[in-house]
Homo-oligomer: A and B are copies of this chain.
Amino acid sequence: MKKLVNDPKRVVEESVAGFASAHADLVTASSDPLFIARAGGATRGKVGLVSGGGSGHEPLHAGFVGYGMLDAAVPGPVFTSPTPDPIVAATKAADGGAGVLHIVKNYTGDVLNFETAADLALAEGIEVRAVVTDDDVAVRDSLYTAGRRGVAGTVLVERIAGAAAERGDDLDAVAGIAERVNANVRSMGVALTPCVVPHAGEPSFELADDEIELGIGIHGEPGRTRTKLVSADEVVDLLLDPILADLPFGEGDRTLLFVNGMGGTPLVELYIFFRRAAEVLGERGIAVERSLVGNFVTSLEMQGASITVLKLDDELVELWDSPLHTAALRWGR
């Protein structure tokens, strides 16, 4: 295993410490239990937003704590759900008296632990709602999931629900916006290489030198199919077809197009991906009104990418564009 780490068992703890040190103007980190919250604490009267899950997907979720997005994030061990305790602590830290929304990627461990945490928080008088994201069209059930997996679309849910909370929406309304984004977003990914979980020290799966996996999960769990490496344009087409058919997206739709890197794929390739995806949408009469390109929901150093398409309306555009200040995404302030 070739990584810039110290003790493989302390990777998350040390990385969170570095993150909090680099972004002390934005966040504070609690080390036991481990969670990240906004510097300055919860905003009185604002709905709090909490997300979390296994580490290794950075900047998700800690990189999205800040004005206009999350109030707290709970990093579990690499590719492993956090336990309820730190989720409860993060929920308390995010509570400004208007209730807290949990945004949970649909993985069995995350869903169970966030549910338990919500019960425990409720017992302490904090009203909690949960939205489970499940934007991945690749597989119906998966290795770690009943139903579809929550992947890169989660970033869009967190950002737009965060904007609604900042605007002053109540808990029902913020949850409603989050559900609406989740209902209108679809994703699918591809892997060229596996990644190595530090405490395991071995690749998470194997792929031949000329093979790619379509519909890969963000932990390297199996996708739809393995195929020979084909051109970038062909890969885009193989990902976009099921995405566009699923909602379905159609002529006249307005969209946000998000090309996400899995961590180890250079930007130069992500933009080649974006070019073709925008071209295909254009051919089908689907407008790309907003775009996002970069490594936002990663699988450590995995090479690969995913495409996410969100159907927009005026309100979602307004919320997307509103001021945002986190470590990984920032605009308008």
Contacts and interface: CB of A to CB of B under 8 A. Distances in A.
A34 to B, nearest CB: 14
Contacts of A28: none
Contacts of A275: 14-15, 17-18, 21
A2 B229 contact: yes
A58 B193 contact: no
A295 to B, nearest CB: 7
Interface stretch (A40-48, A104-112, A174-182, A258-266): A258-266
A59 interface: yes
Interface string A68-111: 00000000001000000000000000000000000000000000
Interface string A282-302: 000000100101010010110
A291 B24 CA distance: 10
A266 B301 contact: yes
Contact of A267 (B58, B232, B259): B58
Nearest to A271: B18
A60 to B, nearest CB: 10
A303 interface: yes
A183 interface: no
Contact of A235 (B4, B23, B59, B271): B4
Nearest to A60: B267
Interface in A274-333: 274-276, 278, 288, 291, 293, 295, 298, 300-301, 303-305, 325, 330-333
Interface residue SS majority, chain A: mixed
B229 A23 contact: no
The copy count of this chain in the complex is 2
Given A2-B193, A266-B263, A305-B4, A19 B271 contact: yes
Contact of A11 (B4, B56, B272): B272
The bracket for how many chain A residues form the interface is 35 or more
Contacts of A300: 266, 268
Interface string A226-256: 0001011101000000000000000000000
Given A4-B232, A331-B330, A22 B291 contact: yes
Contact of A2 (B3, B78, B303): B303
Contacts of A330: 330-331
Given A4-B272, A6-B272, A232-B5, A265 B59 contact: no
Q: Most chain-B CB neighbours within 10 Å: which of A11, A12, A19, A266?
A: A266
Nearest to A229: B2
29 contacts: A2-B210, A2-B303, A4-B265, A4-B270, A4-B305, A5-B231, A5-B269, A5-B272, A6-B231, A14-B272, A15-B272, A15-B275, A16-B271, A18-B276, A18-B293, A21-B275, A21-B278, A22-B259, A22-B274, A22-B291, A55-B268, A56-B268, A58-B266, A58-B267, A58-B268, A263-B266, A267-B298, A301-B303, A332-B333
